[in-house]
Amino acid sequence: MAGRPHSRPRLIDVAAQAGVSMATASRALASREGVSERVAARVRDVAAELGYVANPHARTLAGGPTSVAGLLVYEIGDPYFSEIASGVVGTAAEHGWSVQISHTERDSRAEAAQIRLMRAHRVGAIIVAGSGYVDPAMEAEVARELDAFQETGGRAVVIGRHHLRCDAVLPDNSAAAASVAEHLLELGHRRLAVVAGPRHLNTVTDRLGGVRSAVAARGLDPDDMPVAYVPFTREGGRAGAAQILEQHPGTTAILALNDAMATGVLSVLRERGVAVPAEVSVTGFDDIQVAQDLAPALTTARLPMSEMGVAAFELALRPPVSRPRRKPTSHGLVVRDSTAPPA
């Protein structure tokens, strides 16, 4: 019988009840070999009957497998990241894993510190969502932590980030951005401007690169295209839009490199009485849930955030291979009401 009162059953209780040793009970529950099916079944039955759940701390301490994953996001309150988190958390639950979430607030040093913390917590896998840095020095510290984690048997997966020695879920930011730009060019726009995120993020340079190559393919000079480097937020979008309106009044289309910034762009245009899309077309990127409900409904490049979260967790579950896997994701152009031919 159980030792203390009011205490959940221990493995030793299950073992006693089933008439076997702890070793056998442990093996039976981990469905490892070396136990006869008859005994294993009995142990499992007893465990179920007693409502036994292994203490994960003891398990981990003794060298067993962990089933806690760490998820790093810039800001869980941001729709882009919360949709990714939704995919990760849901899939993890299906596999009996739980998920620890951390904010990193767009700071590579904070990222490295969080990874270090998760390593200390002995998580079994770490999923890093969020852009990489253009400056290799900034990326280095994160890379070092991730490498150390993998060397000790942990599984690391990044989302939308290359240049790291681990499995990755990679949307084709460049191609998706190009498709948005092509859509605008197709409509006849020639005076495009970009509200980009921070210039030190890979995601920004990738997306911007896509836009520039699409522009160049039309015979235009990408260097003539104004680019506002602002924070990846609604407020950043507002600042970028204001800047473009003032310095480049002839602009007929503004490409925001994520939907949050596009929201800000739209709000500035509305305040200033600029009609969208009649006077200026606006595009976003990501297709967060609310993009369809903005005024006007936002034309944007769709990234399957939730599926990316699912894919990332599933990669984390698979055993590592020597050469890092790169799992591409779909993307698509979603044309709504914020784009139209130029006046």
Residues that bind a second copy in the complex, under the rule CB under 8 A: 6, 8, 53-58, 60-61, 68, 75-79, 82-83, 85-86, 89-90, 93, 98-103, 116-122, 151-152, 234, 263, 266-267, 289-290, 292-296, 306
10 forms part of the interface with DNA (CB under 7 A):
yes
Find, among 220, 211, 203, the residue nearest to 163 by Cα.
Answer: 203
Residue 122 interface partner, choices a second copy, DNA, none, CB cut-off 5-8 Å depending on type: a second copy
Q: Is residue 335 part of the contact set for DNA (CB under 7 A)? A: no
Scan for tokens 């020639």, then name that residue. 190
Residue 198's Cβ-count burial label (10 Å; 0-12, 13-18, 19+) is middle
The type of residue at 182 is E
Binding site partner of 292, from DNA, a second copy, none, Cβ cut-off 5-8 A by kind: a second copy
Measured at the CA of 79, the angle between CA 73 and CA 81, to 5 degrees, comes to: 20
Our measurement of the distance from residue 92's CA atom to the centroid of its chain's CA atoms, rounded to an integer in Å, reads: 14
Query: Does 35 engage in binding with DNA (CB under 7 A)?
Result: yes
Identify what 152 binds: a second copy, DNA, none; CB under 5 to 8 Å per kind. Answer: a second copy
Taking the C-alpha atoms of 117, 120, 124 and 130 in order, what is their torsion angle to the nearest 10 degrees?
20
Q: Which does 223 bind (CB under 5 to 8 A by kind): DNA, a second copy, none?
A: none
* 218 to 213, 221, 334: CA distances (angstroms): 9, 9, 21
Site stretch for DNA (CB under 7 A), options 57-65, 96-104, 183-191, 250-258: 57-65
Is the CB of residue 314 less than 8 Å from the CB of residue 182? no
| Under rule CB under 7 A, residue 61 binds DNA | yes
Instruction: Tell me the two tokens of residue 53.
Output: 């759940």
Q: Are 238 and 287 in contact (CB under 8 A)?
A: no
Q: Among residues 30 and 93, whose Cβ is nearest to DNA?
A: 30
| Residue among 72, 94, 91 at smallest CA distance from 310 | 91
CB of 182 to DNA, least distance (A): 53
Q: Is the dihedral of CA 221, 222, 228, 233 positive or negative?
A: positive
- Show the binding pattern over residues 64-103: x = contacts DNA (CB under 7 A), - = does not: xx--------------------------------------
- At 7, list the tokens: 């205490």
Residue closer to DNA (CB basis): 58 or 217: 58
Q: For DNA, which stretch binds (CB under 7 A), given 22-30, 124-132, 201-209, 296-304?
A: 22-30
Q: What amino acid is encoded at 135 in this protein?
A: D
Contact predicate 27/35, CB 8 Å:
yes
Q: Is 23 in the site for DNA (CB under 7 A)?
A: yes
Binding segment (CB under 7 A) for DNA, from list 33-41, 151-159, 190-198, 283-291: 33-41
Residue 95: name its binding partner from DNA, a second copy, none (Cβ under 5 to 8 Å by kind): none
Q: With respect to DNA, which residue has the nearer C-beta, 19 or 188?
A: 19
- In the complex, what is the shortest distance from the CB of residue 34 to DNA, in angstroms, rounded to a whole number? 4
Choosing among a second copy, DNA, none, which partner's interface includes residue 306 (Cβ < 5 to 8 Å by kind)? a second copy
CB 210 within 8 A of CB 241: no
Which residues make up the interface to DNA (CB under 7 A)?
3, 7, 10-12, 19-24, 26-27, 29-30, 32-36, 38-40, 52, 54-55, 58-59, 61-65
